[in-house]
């Protein structure tokens, strides 16, 4: 599906021959992302869905809503965010940047959609490193092998000291057929999951263990919300803060996001 969209994006000038011109795109600095005005075209969502179906009749986006800037719909499909003009003519795959808020632009609708998906994962299925005096909670899709995941884990004492609770979800980036996937099941099945995760991230051999684990479900969820690498850090409102950030950078991003 995404291959078809990529071909369409770079190989064609438009999706449809609609006569209505696309509304001009305002500068990202003109208005904060969260307050972007909704599209005036009440039929924009259906127009966009029809245009995308013209690329592939089987196209079924997970989410379609107002983009964080006028004249476009924000579309989520297989975890990838696309932007399609309200008249169904133009498609973009690049992530827009909000100059005023100094962060990737996302609409309130998309954030709510992601938040809803993430909130469905019960705390009992996460591996939680709670701050004694929590100010913020982040959800981190993690892998036991990636270097930056291990670096972030080493930062846990400082993150907790700054009031940041870290809740891990499993995302073995090498996929279900990998040893990494099997090892992460063992970690999530351990009696002491926190200790098992810390040992695995420290390079220790993972003791094989099996159970009915949430690893496969969390891996699928990561793909659904757009995780393409680890660590992938999400704030409580569903916004993705990025990959690895130092404790100072992460604290600053969370404070900015909360205001």
Distance in angstroms (rounded) separating the CA atoms of residues 187 and 199: 9
Q: Catalytic residue positions? A: 143, 146, 149, 173
* Higher-confidence position of 243 and 154: 154
Bridge-based pairing of strands 136-142 and 164-170 is parallel
Contact 77, 61 (CB under 8 A): yes
Q: 107-157, pLDDT tens digit by residue?
A: 889 999 999 999 999 999 999 999 999 999 999 999 999 999 999 999 999
Q: Where are the domains of the chain?
A: 2-106, 117-258
Q: What is the pLDDT of residue 60?
A: 86
What gap in Å lies between CA 181 and CA 174, rounded to an integer?
Answer: 7
Report the chain's C-alpha Rg in angstroms. 20
The pLDDT assigned to 42 comes to: 61
Distance CA 170, CA 140 (A): 8
CATH superfamily of 2-106: Disulphide bond isomerase, DsbC/G, N-terminal (3.10.450.70)
Q: How many CB atoms lie within 10 A of CB 124?
A: 7
- If you average pLDDT over residues 203-229, what whole number do you get? 93
Task: Tell me the whole-structure pTM to 2 decimals.
Answer: 0.79
Q: Which residues of 211-247 are buried (b: 16+ CB within 10 A; e: fewer)?
A: eebbbeebbebbebbbbeebbbbbbbebbbbebbbeb
Mean pLDDT of the chain: 84
**pLDDT tens digits for range 34-87:** 444 444 456 899 999 999 999 888 888 989 999 999 999 999 988 888 999 999
CATH number of 117-258: 3.40.30.10
């Amino acid at each position: 599906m995404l291959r078809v969209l990529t071909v369409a994006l770079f190989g064609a000038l438009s999706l449809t021959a609609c006569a209505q011109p696309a509304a001009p795109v305002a500068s990202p600095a003109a208005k904060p992302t969260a307050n972007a005005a909704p599209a005036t075209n009440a039929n924009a969502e259906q127009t966009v869905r029809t245009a995308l179906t013209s690329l592939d009749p089987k196209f079924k986006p997970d989410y379609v809503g107002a983009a964080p800037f006028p004249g476009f719909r924000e579309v989520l499909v297989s975890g990838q965010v696309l932007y399609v003009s309200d008249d169904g003519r133009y498609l973009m795959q690049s992530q827009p940047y909000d100059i005023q808020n100094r962060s990737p632009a996302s609409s309130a609708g998309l954030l709510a959609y992601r938040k809803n998906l993430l909130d469905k994962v019960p705390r009992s299925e996460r591996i939680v490193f709670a701050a004694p005096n929590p100010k913020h909670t982040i959800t981190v899709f993690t892998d036991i092998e990636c270097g930056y995941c291990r670096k972030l884990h080493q930062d846990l004492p400082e993150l907790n000291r700054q009031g940041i609770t870290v809740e891990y979800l499993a995302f073995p980036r090498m996929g279900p057929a990998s040893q990494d996937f099997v090892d992460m099941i063992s970690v999530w099945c351990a009696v002491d999951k926190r200790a098992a995760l810390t040992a695995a991230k420290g390079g220790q051999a993972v003791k094989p263990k099996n159970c009915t684990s949430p690893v496969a479900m969390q891996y699928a969820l990561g793909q659904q919300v757009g995780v393409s690498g680890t660590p992938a850090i999400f704030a409580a409102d569903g916004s993705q803060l990025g990959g690895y950030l130092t404790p100072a950078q992460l604290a600053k991003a969370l404070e900015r996001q909360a205001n």
